Amino acid sequence: MPRMNRILLLPVLPVCVFACIAASAQPPILAPTPPMGWNSWDAYAMSIDEKDFKANAAVLASIKQLGWKYAVIDEGWYLEDPLAGKTELEKFVYDANGRLIPALNRFPSAANGAGLKPLADWVHAQGLKFGIHLIRGIPRESVKADKPIAGSNFTASQAADTTDVCPWNEDNYGIKDNAAGQAWYDSMIGLYASWGIDYLKVDCISDRPYKISEIKQVAAAIKKTGRPIVLSLSPGPTSLDHAEEVTQYAQMWRISDDHWDVWSHVPKPGEGEFPMGTLQAFSRLVPWRGYVQPGHWPDEDMLPIGSLTPHPGWGEPRESRFTHDEARTEFTLWTITRSPLILGANLTKLNDFTKSLITNKDVLRINQQAWTTHPIISLPPELRKVRIWLASEEAFSDPPRYLAVFNLDDQPIHIHAKLEDLSAELRGTQLRDLWEGNDLPKNGELDVTLQPHACVLYLAQSKLRPATK
């Protein structure tokens, strides 16, 4: 195969830019590295209860030393019957001020007005951090009853914008951009902060529609609590036009629609991009790379790998549809682009392959410690179905560099190139395959055959560091 040439790199942002950000931030940066953890949606949808949540969190705690630390309950923890199929039968639970509180039949430790605090305390005792999900706005029933807003002289009807309803979830009204609206968010988030939450995922706010007024209100309410709470905005794709705004207020924001276990989904005209496939993530990640920095992480969504049971948020209960090559490619792409790593599998049913993905220390190190990450964006025509990403850690003598090569084609492909033709950064380096754990011959070349949708991931150094045991 002819040697690769005509290879271009996107410009790498200087290390000093990020160093200055890190040095000047006061107080310490929240989410200085991409958050890693588990969310209940992909395996349980709205059906998770306290017993199953603890079982999954216990597995997460067993690998916390690798960076996995956020255990998040997604939508529906306030429903008595989340599988009823109709909103009017799900039985929402509220407190006297119209705020959603846990359903006791599913979260018994919430008895006697304790809320989710006992569960949060248990999570913290495992060495983990605790998160919950909310749909933006105020429950319709709270507005109908015109509940008083705690800590204020306002009532729910003064905060609610009854003309604004989430197009895919009609449980709530939107919030007015006024003092009553801010009082609502202060009241609600203040309650949840008192329970001890560390992570708040707010939905129907970063796209369809984009609600900057409510993003600001949520962020202001979090700040007033004095608690360091990571704010995650959903769904996507968040528009690049809003990048500067979301980085001011959130630590994570979705850059894709809901991502599921499909390799590719090309919507028909007029359709949305749901469910988003892995293939589409490659092009989506490129324009967002300039916003990857400590405290701010473009989010490609959860990782639907492993067992998606018993009640996945989309489709029938199943093992992930991904082949092993596709699952490894997805995990590698999220890792080297420094997307948050939020697992979606039922962790109590981990198979050996999925466990091998999420416990590889050398691979996880890239996500948590790489300082720059950038794609090679121009390759020869014969490699039009290949994508290459490079990452490196902070500059010092012989810094660790990383090379990920992906085959997007439905057919196998052979790649033969000199490393220095890929990037001057790779001149004189040796390669170690981080998935297979073996060192490649020291010939300064990349010579590999990739199966359909497969990838390789290498450590590149002039003198390879010792392998991780």
The predicted-structure confidence for 321-345, as pLDDT tens digits, reads as follows 999 999 999 999 999 999 999 999 9
The CATH code that applies to domain 31-369 is 3.20.20.70
Does domain 1-28+370-469 fall into CATH 2.60.40.1180?
A: yes
Position 266 scores a pLDDT of 84
* Pairwise CA distance, residues 1 & 4, whole Å: 9
Rounded percentage of the chain residues whose pLDDT exceeds 70: 94
Nearest of 244, 241, 281 to residue 261 by alpha carbon: 281
Q: Environment class of residue 39 by beta-carbon count within 10 Å: exposed (0-12), middle (13-18) or buried (19+)?
A: buried
Chain region(s) in the chain for CATH 2.60.40.1180: 1-28+370-469
Domain with CATH 3.20.20.70 in the chain: 31-369
Q: Please say whether the beta carbons of 291 and 306 come within 8 A.
A: no
CA distances to 162, 310, 367, 373, 455 from 354, in Å: 45, 17, 17, 25, 16
Angle between helices 179-195 and 117-125 (to 10 degrees): 50
Q: How far apart are CA 374 and CA 286, in angstroms?
A: 8
Rounded to whole angstroms, the Cα distance separating 176 from 195 reads 26
- The one-digit pLDDT tens for each residue of the chain (469 residues) are 333 333 444 444 444 444 444 444 467 899 999 999 999 999 999 999 999 999 999 999 999 999 999 999 999 999 999 999 888 889 999 999 999 999 999 999 999 999 999 999 999 999 999 999 999 999 999 999 999 999 999 999 999 999 999 999 999 999 999 999 999 999 999 999 999 999 999 999 999 899 999 999 999 999 999 999 999 999 999 999 999 999 999 999 999 999 999 999 887 777 778 899 999 999 999 999 999 999 999 999 999 999 999 999 999 999 999 999 999 999 999 999 999 999 999 999 999 999 999 999 999 999 999 999 999 877 777 788 999 999 999 877 778 999 999 999 999 999 998 998 888 889 989 999 999 999 988 778 899 999 999 999 999 998 887 777 6
CA distance 407 to 349: 29
* Secondary structure of the chain in HEC code, one letter for each residue: CCCCCCCEECCCCCHHHHHHHHHHCCCCCCCCCCCEEEECHHHHCCCCCHHHHHHHHHHHHHCHHHCCCEEEECCCCCECCCCCCCHHHCCECECCCCCECCCCCCCHHHHHHCCCHHHHHHHHHCCCEEEEEEECCEEHHHHHCCCECCCCCCEHHHHEEEEEECCCCCCEEEECCCHHHHHHHHHHHHHHHHHCCCEEEEECCECCCECHHHHHHHHHHHHHHCCCCEEEECCCCCCHHHHHHHHHHCCEEECCCCECCCCCCCCCCCCCCCCECHHHHHHHHHHHHHHCECCEEEECCCECCCEECCCCCCCCCEECCCCHHHHHHHHHHHHHCCCCEEECCCHHHCCHHHHHHHCCHHHHHHHHHCCEEEEEEECCHHHCCEEEEEEECCCCCCCCEEEEEEECCCCCEEEEEEHHHHCHHHCCCEEEECCCCEECCCCCEEEEEECCCCEEEEEEECCCCCCCC
At residue 305, φ and ψ (nearest 5 deg) are -115, 160
